[in-house]
Structure formats: structure tokens, C-alpha cells
């Protein structure tokens, strides 16, 4: 009974905070957690850190939201949506970590949004969207010209991550459609699915951390910063913001990735990289989606 009361109160309490504030918190933690993860790569294999991130987030959501109940009550269409988002989360986080192990955080952050811009351009044809796509392509061309010689695999992973991020945003809005509490319950269920997806990929690599309290605590911290806080904030923002508005706010994220990469990881971008990231930021700000996505 107490759990049901808490679940009912969550959307009410969340509604007292402006949705843009949730997005700003997500914008900070979306890359702050991965920046800490990069520091952890020296002690734990990359996919092991990805497993720790998802496993710790899944455990926290499981204790807090009891997501198996949501999945059991869900209609078939809702279950398919949860399963799809879980697969996307598992693969997206793995590709993202493999990419930032090879490329600067700001570069991966800029590439992450190209597919969302392309989707808008092809889905809502206008000179504005075609112009945004052109800006994005120019920005990524600058970034790849600077870095491609060093890690073509890193760029391939970054582009796959960008495609998966686009799917995360589209599916995330569908998860959030009935309000903050329902969206978070579905997110919790999707996180358990993500854990199943990454289990064969990263459990063996994560084993050293499971036998070291310090490394395990660091991995849990990465999970809280990377998956719990930003994904909850995304759901609370998506529940109250049209997808077009949310897409406009995404223009902040490549800049926040570059800033956090510079401050935490000392990845100081060159002038060409700053120009490339700036073009992607401008493209995300210019592009337009349908009012109700």
C-alpha cells in the first residue's frame, strides 16, 4: 500500500519542477558519468565498465520500482516497447563506451545527434531541416578530418551509438507518454532487459571490479551518474515536453560533452574541433520536428 502511495505521489512531486530543469540536470550527468567511466577504464575493461553501469542501475531500479510488476501488467504492445528500449539501452551504452575509449568525449557527443537531425530532415521536409542536416554533416566532416586517421573503428562505433541514441529518444517519448511515474516504471523494466543484453558482453570483463570494493563502488557511482539520474530526468522531461522542444534542447548536449571532456578528462579540443562541435550544436538548434512525435 505504501509503495502504491509513493508511486502516485511521484508524478505530483515531479510536476512541481519545470521540465527544462530536469533536462539541464540530465545534460550534466549524461556525460559526467561517462567521463568518470573513462577514468575507470585504466582498471577495468571497457565492456566491464558498461556492464557495471547497467547492472548497478538495474539493481537500483529493481529495488525502487519493482519493474517485473510493470512488465507483468503491461499490454503486449507495451511489452514490445519495453523490450525494444532495453535492447537499445544495452547496445547503446556498450557502443558509447567503446567509442569514448577511442575518441574524445566531445567528438562522440557531437556525432550522437546526427541521426536525429537526419530523421527530422527526411520526416519533415523543409529548407530549415535540410539546412540543419547540411550544418551537421559539415560539423562531423570537420571532426572526422581531424580524428579519422587515428581511430576509424572509434568513429564507426560513434555513428552506431548515434543511431541507437536516436532510437532511445523516440522510444523514450513513447515510454513517457502516460506521465512521469509510468515512464519511470517502464524505464526500470527496460533497464533489466538491458542487463540481460550486456550480460554476455561484459560480465567477464567486470569480474575484477566485483572482487574489489573500491572498484565496485566506483562502478556503482558511474551507474548512478550515467543511467539512473539522467534517464529519470529524461523521462520526467519527456513526459511534459513536446518532442520538438526536447529536440531543440538537445543542442546543449554536444557542448556539455566537450566542456565535461575538457574539465574532467583534460581533452582540450582544437579550433577545428570546436568549430565542428559548434556546427552540430547549431544544426540541432535549427532542425525542426513535428509538434507531436
Cell triple for residue 159? 555513428
Q: Is residue 187 part of a domain?
A: yes
Tell me the CA distances in angstroms from 286 to 132, 133, 247, one per residue in order: 6, 9, 10
Q: Are 169 and 89 in contact (CB under 8 A)?
A: no
Q: Is residue 109 part of a domain?
A: yes
pLDDT at 13: 53
Q: Are 103 and 269 in contact (CB under 8 A)?
A: no
pLDDT at 48: 96
131 CB neighbour count, 10 Å cutoff:
15
Q: Is residue 111 part of a domain?
A: yes
Host domain of residue 224: 20-286
pLDDT at 15: 61
Residue carrying C-alpha cell 540541432:
284
Q: Is residue 91 part of a domain?
A: yes
Cell triple for residue 26? 540530465
| Number of domains forming the structure of the chain | 1
- Model pTM? 0.84
With vertex at residue 191, the alpha carbon angle to CA 185 and CA 192, rounded to the nearest 5 degrees, is 100
**pLDDT one digit per residue (tens) for the chain, 293 residues:** 444 444 445 555 566 788 888 988 998 998 999 999 999 999 999 999 999 999 999 999 999 999 999 999 999 999 999 999 999 999 999 999 999 999 888 888 888 877 766 766 666 667 877 887 788 778 877 776 655 555 789 989 999 999 999 999 889 988 887 655 688 999 999 999 999 999 999 999 999 999 999 999 999 999 999 999 999 999 888 888 877 677 667 767 778 888 899 889 988 888 888 888 888 888 877 776 655 44
Q: Are 128 and 264 in contact (CB under 8 A)?
A: no
Q: Is residue 105 part of a domain?
A: yes
Amino acid at each position: 500500500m505504501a509503495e502504491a502511495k509513493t508511486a502516485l505521489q511521484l508524478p505530483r512531486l515531479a510536476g512541481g519542477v519545470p521540465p527544462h530543469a530536469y533536462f539541464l540536470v540530465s545534460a550534466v550527468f549524461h556525460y559526467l558519468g561517462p567521463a568518470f567511466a573513462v577514468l575507470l577504464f585504466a582498471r577495468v575493461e571497457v565492456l566491464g565498465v558498461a556492464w557495471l553501469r547497467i547492472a548497478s542501475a538495474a539493481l537500483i531500479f529493481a529495488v525502487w520500482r519493482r519493474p517485473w510488476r510493470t512488465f507483468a501488467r503491461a499490454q503486449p504492445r507495451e511489452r514490445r516497447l519495453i523490450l525494444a528500449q532495453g535492447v537499445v539501452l544495452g547496445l547503446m551504452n556498450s557502443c558509447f563506451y567503446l567509442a569514448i575509449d577511442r575518441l574524445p568525449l566531445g567528438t562522440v557527443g557531437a556525432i550522437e545527434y546526427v541521426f536525429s537531425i537526419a530523421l527530422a530532415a527526411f520526416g519533415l521536409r523543409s529548407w530549415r531541416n535540410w539546412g540543419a542536416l547540411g550544418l551537421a554533416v559539415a560539423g562531423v566532416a570537420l571532426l572526422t578530418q581531424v580524428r579519422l586517421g587515428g581511430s576509424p573503428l572509434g568513429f564507426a562505433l560513434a555513428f552506431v551509438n548515434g543511431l541507437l541514441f536516436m532510437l532511445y529518444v523516440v522510444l523514450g517519448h513513447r515510454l513517457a507518454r502516460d506521465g512521469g511515474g509510468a515512464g519511470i516504471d517502464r524505464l526500470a523494466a527496460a533497464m533489466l532487459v538491458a542487463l540481460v543484453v550486456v550480460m554476455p558482453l561484459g560480465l567477464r570483463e567486470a569480474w575484477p571490479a566485483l572482487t574489489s570494493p573500491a572498484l565496485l563502488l566506483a562502478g556503482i557511482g558511474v551507474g548512478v551518474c550515467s543511467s539512473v539520474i539522467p534517464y529519470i530526468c529524461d523521462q520526467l522531461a519527456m513526459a511534459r515536453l513536446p518532442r520538438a522542444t526536447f529536440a531543440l534542447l538537445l543542442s546543449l548536449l554536444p557542448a556539455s560533452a566537450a566542456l565535461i571532456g575538457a574539465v574532467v578528462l583534460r581533452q582540450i579540443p582544437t579550433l577545428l574541433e570546436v568549430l565542428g562541435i559548434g556546427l552540430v550544436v547549431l544544426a540541432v538548434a535549427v532542425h525542426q520536428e513535428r509538434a507531436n512525435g
